Amino acid sequence: MPALVALFLAPALPVPAQVVVEAGMASHCAEAAATELGVMMNDVLTLPVERSGGTYHVYGQYPDSGSDLTLFECQYDSGRSFLGISLQGHQGHHGDAVGGVPRAAQRACTDMMGRAVTIEQVSALRPGFHEIIMKESDGPRRVACTVADDGTLEDWVEMN
């Protein structure tokens, strides 16, 4: 039993940075950007990997065309470990805490829509649940999505 106690009291080991093969960096960066922005991965555009001064860079943008762009850059060190992503021009309409909604909840609704959306309204329904009203960015479709903070969809209503 003392061995078990010692195991639980031992300090946590640091988690190593994620190593990404060079051929997969553009895809990895697109996934990181989509997660950060709360959009679908197919909605972001990445350029080929660039190597500069011993580090790797992947540049990209969201949306993949048009105005009101969010530019991003993913960085990897010389060992191909992911260092992080930086955003420029992000307007906050897809990121976390829109109207106090956790990113997992917001992402569940926007992913279910399947297209780029504009969030029109967010309402807290009861602790742990929100209603998100969103509209297709390039179409007439409007939806009211009721979602739990953990991303579990509770209700989906197409609005006319």
113 and 84 in a single domain? The answer is no
Question: What pLDDT digit, counting tens, does each position of 35-61 carry?
Answer: 777 777 888 899 999 998 889 999 999
CA 146 to CA 123: how far, in whole Å? 9
The β-bridge partners of 132 are 122, 145
The pLDDT, as a whole number, for residue 88 is: 82
Q: 142: helix, coil or strand? A: strand
140 and 111 in a single domain? The answer is yes
Give domain status of residue 139, yes or no. Answer: yes
DSSP codes joined into one string, 119-133:
EEEEEEEETTEEEEE
The pLDDT, as a whole number, for residue 7 is: 44
Please say if the pLDDT value at position 82 is more than 60.
yes
Question: What pLDDT digit, counting tens, does each position of 143-159 carry?
Answer: 999 998 888 889 999 99
Kindly tell me the sign of the dihedral angle through the C-alpha atoms of 61, 70, 104, 133.
negative
Q: What is the mean pLDDT of the chain?
A: 79
Tokens 């955003």, located at residue: 87
Q: Which domain holds residue 149?
A: 103-159
The tally of domains found in the chain comes to 2
The gap between the terminal CA atoms of the chain, to the nearest Å, is 63
CA 115 to CA 110: how far, in whole Å? 8
Give domain status of residue 15, yes or no. Answer: no
The pLDDT, as a whole number, for residue 4 is: 43
The pLDDT, as a whole number, for residue 96 is: 43
The pLDDT, as a whole number, for residue 137 is: 78
Torsion from C-alpha of 117, 135, 124, 33, nearest 10 degrees: 0
Among 35, 60, 88, the domain boundary falls at 88
148, 104 Cβ separation under 8 angstroms: no
Average pLDDT estimate for 1-28: 65
72 and 124 in a single domain? The answer is no
